[in-house]
């Protein structure tokens, strides 16, 4: 691998396009000077943003595309309109052609998954990608997957998610044997749907090295950090993610209203402002922006579409870490070490 981490960016993705993507890349470059960027999108718009960022300009290359994927496009529409010529596709294709190590987009999630699957293909033993997020917890951070790549999962797919999530946790948290839990409505063995119970039986039977399966975890266990990796299918995972983000905003708004309600509240804030700033920092969703599509023959990062430059920089840095710590190799090793294989069956609906 090159001494540089080469990052391809879909400059037109998300709600704000180049006005967020390029300043975000500049912030990531400040923290990781060993990075090079390939910006794909409207050349004039990209170069206008780059003109104010000479340090980024020195390590950047621009590829023009006059097609961008809309946030409300269905995956099938995006493929018909953008395959081969959209900024999203061309960023992915740069990874396929080894012109970049990782692709990052804030664009349409369904379109990104469909294009990534078609362009990059799946790793052996995986039938479809999963979207993994880093989740702040009382113990630090956990990996949660799937948070919205596809809907529905049988036991074998849930077991595959456990294997991939464990590999990602080993990369991010420097753990030899991460703890893994299945999200369920209770910790008792008789609770939950059949697929989840079957997945638990399968994980116990396989006894996979470098994966410490601890059983079921309830929803409140995610924030507690009950396991290093929490596994669920994409429908429940996406609801959990959006609920947590909304709750964080709700608590922040409650605090803001109460602190301004009276003189004593304002005085109390002055004495405790360091603690409140620390709380705000921990609850800032930008700090953990950047989901990883696992299971592909390449690294693809999905940023929130509405994030700002700091949030996009966080997504870029997730991609940087995945390359520096060789995520794909570790996932392959996890699937094939000691002869373990998880041939997966279809039967899940793409989101």
Domain total for the chain?
A: 1
Place of tokens 């995986």: 126
Q: Is there a domain that residue 332 lies in?
A: no
Higher pLDDT, 320 or 124: 320
Q: Is there a domain that residue 234 lies in?
A: yes
Q: Which residues contact 286 (CB under 8 A, 6 or more apart)?
A: 307, 308, 310, 311, 314
Give the structural domain span for 260.
124-288+339-351
Percent of the chain whose predicted confidence (pLDDT) is above 70: 87
pLDDT tens, residue by residue, 55-98: 999 999 999 999 999 998 898 988 998 898 999 999 999 999 99
Beta strand spans in the chain (E):
5-10, 35-41, 60-64, 102-105, 130-137, 140-145, 150-151, 179-183, 212-217, 229-231, 291-294, 299-302, 349-350
- The predicted structure's pLDDT at residue 272: 64
pLDDT tens, residue by residue, 130-185: 999 888 888 888 999 999 888 888 999 999 999 999 988 988 888 989 999 999 99
Q: Cα separations (Å) of 247 from 223, 242, 268?
A: 12, 8, 24
- CB of 78 closer than 8 Å to CB of 350: no
Q: Is there a domain that residue 188 lies in?
A: yes
Q: Is there a domain that residue 81 lies in?
A: no
Mean pLDDT of the chain: 86
Q: Is there a domain that residue 26 lies in?
A: no
Report the CATH number that the domain containing residue 238 is assigned in CATH: 3.40.718.10
Among 201, 237, 235, which Cα is nearest to 219's? 237
Q: Is there a domain that residue 193 lies in?
A: yes
pLDDT tens, residue by residue, 322-351: 898 888 887 777 766 644 555 444 334 444
Sign of CA dihedral 216, 129, 91, 36: positive
Q: Is there a domain that residue 161 lies in?
A: yes
Write down the pTM of the prediction.
0.83
Q: Is there a domain that residue 34 lies in?
A: no
Is the predicted pLDDT of residue 199 greater than 90, yes or no?
yes
Is the predicted pLDDT of residue 32 greater than 80, yes or no?
yes
Q: Which residues contact 60 (CB under 8 A, 6 or more apart)?
A: 25, 36, 37, 38, 39, 50
């Amino acid at each position: 691998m090159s001494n540089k981490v080469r990052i391809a960016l879909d400059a037109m993705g998300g709600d704000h396009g180049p006005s967020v993507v390029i300043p975000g890349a500049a912030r990531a470059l400040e923290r990781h000077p060993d990075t090079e960027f390939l910006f794909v999108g409207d050349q004039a718009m990209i170069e206008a943003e780059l003109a104010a960022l000479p340090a980024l300009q020195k390590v950047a290359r621009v590829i023009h595309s006059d097609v961008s994927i809309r946030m409300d496009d269905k995956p099938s529409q995006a493929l018909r309109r953008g395959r081969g010529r959209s900024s999203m596709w061309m960023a992915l294709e740069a990874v396929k052609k080894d012109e970049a190590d990782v692709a990052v987009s804030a664009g349409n999630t369904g379109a990104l998954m469909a294009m990534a699957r078609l362009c990059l293909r799946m790793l052996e033993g995986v039938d479809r990608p999963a979207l993994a997020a880093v989740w702040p917890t009382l113990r630090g951070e956990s990996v949660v997957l799937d948070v919205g790549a596809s809907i529905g999962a049988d036991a074998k797919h849930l077991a595959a998610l456990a294997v991939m999530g464990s590999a990602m946790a080993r990369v991010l948290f420097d753990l030899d044997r991460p703890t893994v839990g299945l999200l369920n409505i209770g910790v008792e063995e008789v609770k939950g749907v059949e697929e989840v119970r079957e997945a638990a039986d399968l994980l116990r039977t396989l006894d996979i090295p470098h994966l410490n399966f601890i059983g079921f975890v309830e929803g409140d266990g995610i924030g507690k950090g009950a396991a290093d990796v929490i596994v669920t299918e994409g429908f429940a995972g996406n609801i959990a993610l959006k609920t947590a983000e909304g709750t964080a905003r709700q608590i922040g708004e409650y605090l803001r209203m109460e602190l301004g309600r009276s003189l004593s509240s304002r005085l109390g804030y002055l004495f405790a402002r360091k603690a409140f700033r620390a709380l705000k920092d921990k609850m800032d969703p930008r700090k953990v922006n950047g989901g990883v599509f696992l299971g592909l023959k390449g690294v693809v990062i999905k940023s929130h579409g509405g994030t700002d430059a700091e949030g996009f920089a966080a997504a870029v840095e997730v991609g940087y870490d995945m390359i520096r710590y060789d995520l794909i190799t570790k996932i392959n090793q996890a699937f094939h070490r000691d002869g373990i294989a998880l041939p997966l069956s279809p039967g899940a609906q793409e989101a």
